[in-house]
Structure 1
Amino acid sequence: MNMDRKKELKEAYKNYRPEMGIFVIRHIETGKTFLEATNNIKGKINSDVFQLNMETFMRNRDLNKDWKRLGKDAFEVVILEKLEYDEDDQGSKDYGDELEMLYGEWQRKLRSEGTELY
């Protein structure tokens, strides 16, 4: 691999920003929903689904039980909203407060629509 390519890859890695936002794991038939906020949507979805498949999802035992009993095909994963990075962010900003606020907004919205939450 030539030096220019290595430099390009290093720069791309430094500038990589995972998508962040809100997603749900929803039981298709009942609509019962597990809501999640994260600074890495793809990574968190992969982690959650892996833990559910391994029956080690300890953050919500009811979801874990339903996933085990009904199987993964009874659920869908839906990204509800992505949070954009600030234009001037150089990669050091913490978006925890914004994600927490979005989580609260979606929690209220889902509950007002009659969605049962895990």
Structure 2
Amino acid sequence: MNQERKKQLMEEYKAQPTYYGIIQIKNEKNGKIFIEAVPNIKNRWHFYKLNLDNNFYRNTPLQEDWLKDKEESFSYEVLWKKKTDDVENMKKELKKCKKEWLDKLQPYGEKGYNKPIKE
């Protein structure tokens, strides 16, 4: 690939809109879900697979099930997304969104891998 084409592809990539959102990782064997709010959903599934494959989430039920049940038992889904264009305080927005989805889905105990948020 020549330099001009490389440059063009890089510019196209940078011009794509960025989305923040809520993602779900689901263990299809036991039905448990993990919910997270992320500032950029692009390539997020690869990020989680890499970290779980490398035992980054040690001593957590999600990591234990990932090692036991293997990647094939898990699915990934973007539950909600929105362009980052209008967000003034991303950290605050992510916290608010995550709380809404945790309240809605209650992914705790037998239903999921999340821990309740302390307020």
TM-score range, shorter chain: 0.7 to 0.9
Query: Equivalent residue for 1:63?
Result: 62
The C-alpha deviation readout for 1:78-105, integer Å capped at 9, x for no partner, is 110002334xx5xx84322222111111
Query: Equivalent residue for 2:117?
Result: none
**3-state SS, counterpart of residue 42 of structure 2:** helix
Residues 18 and 83 in structure 2, CA contact (< 8 A), matched pair in contact too:
no
**3-state SS, counterpart of residue 55 of structure 1:** coil
Query: Equivalent residue for 2:112?
Result: 117
Provide the C-alpha distance between the structure 1 equivalents of 2:110 and 2:9, rounded to a whole number of angstroms. Answer: 44
Provide the C-alpha distance between the structure 2 equivalents of 1:65 and 1:43, rounded to a whole number of angstroms. Answer: 23
Provide the C-alpha distance between the structure 1 equivalents of 2:30 and 2:9, rounded to a whole number of angstroms. Answer: 45
Query: Equivalent residue for 2:84?
Result: 85
Give TM-score scaled by structure 1 length. Answer: 0.72
- How do 1:1-118 and structure 2 match up within 5 A? 1=3, 15-58=15-58, 61-86=60-85, 89=86, 93-111=88-106, 116-118=111-113
Provide the C-alpha distance between the structure 2 equivalents of 1:61 and 1:16, rounded to a whole number of angstroms. Answer: 35
Q: Quote the offset at 1:14 in angstroms.
A: 5.9
Aligned length: 109
The C-alpha deviation readout for 1:25-69, integer Å capped at 9, x for no partner, is 1111322111111111124322111111122224x6211110000
Which sections of structure 2, spanning at least 5 residues, go unmatched?
114-119
Give TM-score scaled by structure 2 length. Answer: 0.72
